[in-house]
Amino acid sequence: MSAENNSNTNQIELEEIKTQPKRHGLADWMIRLLKGFIIGFGGIVPGLSGGVLSVILGVYDRMMNFLGNLRNQFLKNVAYFFPIGIGGILGIVFFAGIIEAAFGTYAALFTALFIGFVAGTFPSIYRTAGQEGRKGSDWAVFAISAIVIFGLMLIGEQNFTQIQPNIIVWVLSGAIVALGFIVPGLSPSNFLIYFGLYDKMASGIKNFDFQMLIPFVAGAIASVLLFAKLANYLFQRYYSKMYHLILGLVVGSTLGIFPTIIFPSFTAKNLTAMKMSFIVAFLISIVMFLIGIVISYLFGKLEEKYSPQD
């Protein structure tokens, strides 16, 4: 009787196993699609690193292992990341339209908001950078990277703040954006905003401008293939210094955006279009910046709470 019961139990379990993959497989596929959508959101919105979101959602480690060892279980990994990739594309396209609309009459104010998003990541990156302790050399890397990037932005204000897009520019832009997925905490949007390319990128994505998209995607793919394994190596060997380097880039580029992009945009023509005085526009930009910091800071707390690496 016991053997008969065991046989019946095993048969029931086998039937459950047969029926579960279809139901669970579809659910799992949809969950990965949603994860990709959220990661795409982080990849396009300033301050919200796609790499950080992939860490929070438990995708980052497997992604980096796949990119660092493409031949290992290639087809299995492609099948796993396919819905994530589709979701990422959908997220980028959807939010690109919102960002394009923001860069209209009130571009300076929304730029301040987006830069606030970036600045708000500072506490999160600071905590991450100090997980293995801090040395004097780490602080030196931070200070040098912040000063150098801030200085370069000031020096290049007249020459680089309005770069005219071309194939090479979009290839490099795609490569820069891809770094945000490879390096958690790095938000490349600061540099695209500085170069005057961010709104053009969003517009090209929204309108499916293949003259922009093809070189942009090519640059992103090349960046991932070239730097994924290198990034893994550098973070394993020089963890603290790499994150202090990122911290310096965040601080220096954030500070550099105000004198080079935001304040110079408060021209008489733009102020008239916004129907604001310089003082009002200045104060609102500061408020928008602070709002961005708060939102990004709360996002950082979410990362700290749910990151599988904690």
Render pLDDT for 243-299 as a digit per residue (tens, 0 to 9). 898 888 878 878 887 887 778 888 888 888 888 888 998 899 899 989 988 887 777
pTM, to two decimals: 0.63
Lowest-confidence segment of 18-22, 52-56, 89-93, 222-226 by average pLDDT: 18-22
If one compares 278 and 124, the residue with the highest pLDDT of the two is 278
pLDDT of 5 above 80: no
Q: Looking at the 3D structure of the chain, how many domains does it have?
A: 1
For the segment 50-68, what is each residue's pLDDT rounded down to a tens digit? 666 676 677 877 887 788 7
What proportion of the chain, given as a percentage, has pLDDT over 90?
A: 14
| Range 75-87 average pLDDT | 91
What is the full DSSP assignment across the chain? -HHHHHHHHHHHHHHHHHHHHHHHHHHHHHHHHHHHHHHHHHHHSTT--HHHHHHHTT-HHHHHHHHH-TTTTHHHHHHHHHHHHHHHHHHHHHHHHHHHHHSSTTHHHHHHHHHHHHHTTHHHHHHHHTTT---HHHHHHHHHHHHHHHHHHHHTHHHHTTPPP-HHHHHHHHHHHHHHHHSTT--THHHHHHTT-HHHHHHHHHTT-HHHHHHHHHHHHHHHHHHHHHHHHHHHHSHHHHHHHHHHHHHHHHHHHIIIIIGGG--HHHHHHHT--HHHHHHHHHHHHHHHHHHHHHHHHHHHHH-TT-
Confidence of residue 23 (pLDDT cuts 50, 70, 90): very low
Confidence of residue 48 (pLDDT cuts 50, 70, 90): low
Lowest-confidence segment of 8-22, 25-39, 85-99, 272-286 by average pLDDT: 8-22
Domain around 58: 2-306
